[in-house]
Chain A
Amino acid sequence: MADILKKGAFRSAVAALACMTTSVAWAVKDMPGGPTVNQWNLAEPANAIARGQHWLHEMLMWVCVLIFIGVFAVMFYSIWAHRKSRGAKSADFHESTTVEIVWTVVPFIIVVGLGIAATGEVIAQKDTSNPDLTVKVTGYQWKWGYDYLKGEGEGIAFLSNLATPREQIEDRNYPDAKSKREANPTYLMEVDQPLVVPADKKVRLVITANDVIHSYYVPRLGIKQDAIPGFIRDSWFRADKPGIYRGACTELCGKDHAFMPIVVEAKSDADYKKWVEEKKKEMLAWADDPNKEWALADLSARGEKVYAANCVACHQASGKGVPGAFPALEGSKVVLGKRDDHIAIMLNGKAGSAMASFKGLSDTELAAVITYARNAWGNKAEDNLVQPQAVKAARK
């Protein structure tokens, strides 16, 4: 389609039409690795699968456009020519077996043709055999987790959170949010830690979820696969060239469904090796000794960070939660109650509610966030300092 209308002309027409109503998007630039301004077709493909989708779409579009033009040329000619106001007298023909067979058989043949054309792509998409790297992807409310299972980088694991600050999103709370996000070309499609993979290698993703169904969608890599809690599904991609590829969660997963983007960074072999080394060092440095005895202030400070990454979406920075949907931690019975009950709910979640299990966090992180909650927002719990050992013991 792109060649019928000059891309530039179309874009400015759209912008002009939108401008009659609003003044957004004049300042906005294309997103590197993501959508372009007023993009109106599939994203530029970055591998064979996405190219296949492109080709199929282009082909089908034209078939559909031709059928559409054919059928409606006849209809509109008829509307013009066979109208009473032009003196048309109605004919009295009906039922013609020949015609009816023709217009059943011809579409059938077209459909069979289209089916055959698409079959190869279906098979290619599902072929996850012989990967160079296998990564487990876990969907959480509302972030993604990556575990490098097999291949270069085995053992690396991290969570990937939205990096766009709330100050750019919430106009109600931050009056200058609009100007800030207009200056951010990767608004809502940026993360703190992207999935890093080697370019031109077959990457198999084994995909699951921790709470509800999510869906892993990266348009330019031609991949979309639901993440289903309790089940493993697999999919694969190959990023032909190094670069950034952005995507998003596409299965409604609750409140922050729109705020758990995906960023895949494909690196050249050498760069990827370097990244793996650095990442492993970093993980060692971050790995905490669960037997360390912490001071209240240090642990609570660490806990505030854990809280900001994992809890704030529901329980809010104020600790007041969202009335009716997510309980407040300020003055909460659990938080002010027995230490072990508090640890238990963090490890096991609460059945039938949105409170998930957070046993994926380390002993130190859990101890830190529990300690933080027991001291923040005016909370004064009895056991207000919970050491990592207590969490470690409770896991058994």
Chain B
Amino acid sequence: MSAVIGQHDDHAHDHAHDHPTGWRRWLYATNHKDIGTMYLWFSFTMLMVGGLNALLLRTELFQPGLQIVSPEFFNQLTTMHGLIMVFGAIMPAFVGFANWQIPLMIGASDMAFARMNNFSFWLLPPAALLLVASYFVPGGATAAGWTIYAPLSVQMGPGMDLAIFALHIMGASSIMGSINIVTTILNMRAPGMTLMKMPLFVWTWLITAYLLIAVMPVLAGAITMLLTDRHFGTSFFNAGGGGDPVMFQHIFWFFGHPEVYIMILPAFGIVSEIIPTFARKRLFGYSSMVYATASIAILSFIVWAHHMFTTGMPVTGQLFFMYATMLIAVPTGVKIFNWVATMWRGSMTFETPMLFAIGFIFVFTMGGLTGIILSVAPLDIALHDTYYVVAHFHYVLVAGSLYALFAGTYYWLPKWTGHMYDERLGKWHFWMSLVSFNLTFFPMHFLGLAGMPRRYADYPMQFADFNAIVTVGAFWFGLSQLIFLWVVIKCIRGGEKAADNPWGAADGLEWTIPSPAPFHTFETPPVVK
């Protein structure tokens, strides 16, 4: 291990004298901060592209009837919205945070595999291009839903093949990124930083990286089988040839459920960093937070079929997956209680990161509670594939993951740029996002309960009012994100000079270095007591 660190130091020295500038700085980037920055800009771009898909489909759904798009294009929009947001926006954004923050938080000089880090990032733009280009091939983009269930996905045109290749590439990128993260965390911590002294964000990413390594190959397997079913005459998912369409769902969700936690665990980590800082009080139960994260990760492997209650499982199967899913409420509850206990009798201030963190706890919990309702098999059978489910997963993915990403950005932006962001604009961003988010997604619960199925290009007149409200909310929410873009650009270009520890009470190695963080940090590892 010391050999690795030794080599790395030499490497860093080379760069200190002569690191590339202009486009070469980015294309040949091996510095974790540069790569982290690229990840974050990439994911923000994809957030905008995915958002554009969402706004188009919401425009169609503003009123009953078909006004602006055809049903087949509508299905392409819902599919691409999901794929782009999950694989292009949320996942790479967390990897961007990992790149920037993990070395800074554990006192390492960089990521363990700097060139592989470069490759993991540069795989993403071609994958994104494949996805977006698939709109322009004959038959358009894949329209089989982000879950690409066979046999519908077998019917699709060449757009599906492009999506399969894109997913393969993004999967490879994720696996490489995860190996890098695990190696960095396990081998490159500063002397004295034992595992149980690591910041929670690092813990959550360590566990997330293991989840990724475990399940991305499973997705790769599923889509490869899909590819051979499509082109090479196999029948993995074709009953006519001895296959089983439901097997696709089992494999997909064996990937898909851990994937859900891949997108939320690092968010838990970010929030667990922010709450203690702004409550000026240490996290209530550090070790129970670590254990709760690990429990959620382990449980995530035995609950996949709760996405499949309506496929017609045997009674015992339904009962097992129902009970196992309900159990997840326990460690998740532990986390929420811990955050509240951390706030209790603190000395709180409410800068934008704290607002987003509190917003996260408040709104994510609603998504968690609808999750309990959906875990109950007989109710899931009533609500599955309706807007209730759409509401549920946007409460956990937008108000969960995305809010935590905003919180984290505002929190670490002073460290990244060396400037304070515009607090007033940040607060505007928060309140606009909070109100418009709920205006968009809360009525979806009602639509789902009333029986409006998801992925519908058109709907009965009785659902019209709620749909109109949802569309207005969606545009409001989408446009509110431009405030965020403006705040970030403004902060990069200038602003009040940020202190090394601008939040005063923030604890952690990243606050011991200057703001902005110099190009090379911790070339000599700090000692943690």
Query: Which residues from chain A sit less than 8 Å from chain B, CB to CB?
Result: 14-15, 17-18, 21-22, 24-25, 28, 30-31, 34-43, 49-50, 52-53, 56-57, 60-61, 64, 67-68, 71-72, 74-75, 78-79, 82-85, 88-96, 99-100, 103-104, 107-108, 111, 114-115, 118-119, 121-123, 125-126, 168-172, 177-178, 181-182, 184-189, 207, 211-213, 215, 217, 219, 222-226, 228-231, 233-235, 247-259, 322-325, 352-354
Contact = CB atoms under 8 A, between A and B. Distances in A.
Contact of B345 (A15, A34, A91, A125): A91
A90 B340 contact: no
B28 interface: no
B98 to A, nearest CB: 26
B458 A56 contact: no
22 contacts: A18-B465, A35-B463, A38-B465, A39-B450, A57-B449, A75-B343, A85-B349, A90-B279, A93-B345, A100-B288, A103-B334, A122-B378, A181-B461, A187-B460, A230-B245, A249-B453, A250-B384, A250-B453, A254-B143, A258-B458, A352-B154, A354-B155
B382 A178 contact: no
A171 B66 contact: yes
Contacts of B231: 352
B365 interface: yes
Interface in B216-240: 230-231, 238-240
B373 A60 contact: yes
Given A119-B319, A233-B312, A90 B280 contact: yes
Contacts of A121: 377-378
B157 A324 contact: yes
Given A24-B63, A122-B318, A324-B157, A213 B152 contact: yes
B162 to A, nearest CB: 14
B65 A35 contact: no
A50 B341 CA distance: 40
A257 B17 CA distance: 61
B347 A89 contact: yes
Given A53-B378, A171-B67, A235-B312, A84 B459 contact: no
A18 B468 CA distance: 6
Report whether over half of chain A's contact residues are helix, strand or loop; otherwise say mixed. mixed
Contacts of B452: 35
A84 B349 contact: yes
B376 A56 contact: yes
Contact of B378 (A31, A43, A125, A322): A125
Nearest to A64: B369
Interface stretch (B7-15, B114-122, B320-328): B320-328
B310 interface: yes
A255 B460 contact: no
B310 A74 contact: no
Given A64-B369, A233-B311, A40 B446 contact: yes
Nearest to A41: B449
Given A60-B379, A122-B319, A188-B64, 18 more contacts: A15-B465, A18-B469, A42-B451, A68-B366, A78-B344, A90-B281, A99-B341, A115-B323, A126-B314, A126-B318, A171-B65, A172-B67, A213-B152, A233-B312, A251-B310, A257-B457, A324-B137, A324-B157
Contact of A252 (B144, B381, B465): B144
A351 B231 CA distance: 10
User: Which 8 A-B residue pairs are closest in the complex by CB-CB distance?
Assistant: A230-B239, A233-B312, A324-B138, A18-B465, A40-B446, A39-B450, A258-B456, A121-B378
Interface of B: 62-68, 70-72, 75, 137-140, 143-145, 149, 151-152, 154-155, 157, 230-231, 238-240, 244-246, 279-288, 310-312, 314-315, 318-319, 322-323, 326-327, 329-330, 333-334, 336-337, 340-341, 343-350, 358, 361-362, 365-366, 369-370, 372-373, 376-379, 381-382, 384-386, 446, 449-466, 468-469, 471-472
A100 B287 CA distance: 11
Nearest to B153: A212
A19 B26 CA distance: 50
B315 to A, nearest CB: 5
Given A21-B468, A56-B379, A114-B326, A254 B75 contact: yes
Nearest to A108: B330
Given A82-B343, A125-B378, A171-B66, A103 B281 contact: no
A358 B315 CA distance: 35
Contacts of A100: 285, 288, 334
Contacts of B246: 228, 231
A41 B285 contact: no
Contacts of A322: 70, 72
Contacts of B365: 68, 71-72
B67 A90 contact: no
A126 B365 CA distance: 32
A68 B310 contact: no
Nearest to A24: B464
B462 A28 contact: yes
B463 to A, nearest CB: 7
Contacts of A52: 378
A53 B382 contact: yes
Contacts of A229: 151, 239, 245
A72 B362 contact: yes
B387 to A, nearest CB: 11
A324 B140 contact: yes
Residue from B62, B341, B358 with most neighbouring chain A CB atoms (10 Å) = B341
B75 A252 contact: yes
A268 to B, nearest CB: 26
B311 A228 contact: yes
A353 B139 CA distance: 12
A111 B330 contact: yes
B64 A230 contact: no
B348 A83 contact: yes
B334 A94 contact: no
Contact of B312 (A41, A226, A354): A226
Contacts of A92: 281-282
B372 A258 contact: no
A211 B151 contact: yes
B450 A40 contact: yes
Residue from A100, A181, A222, A231 with most neighbouring chain B CB atoms (10 Å) = A100
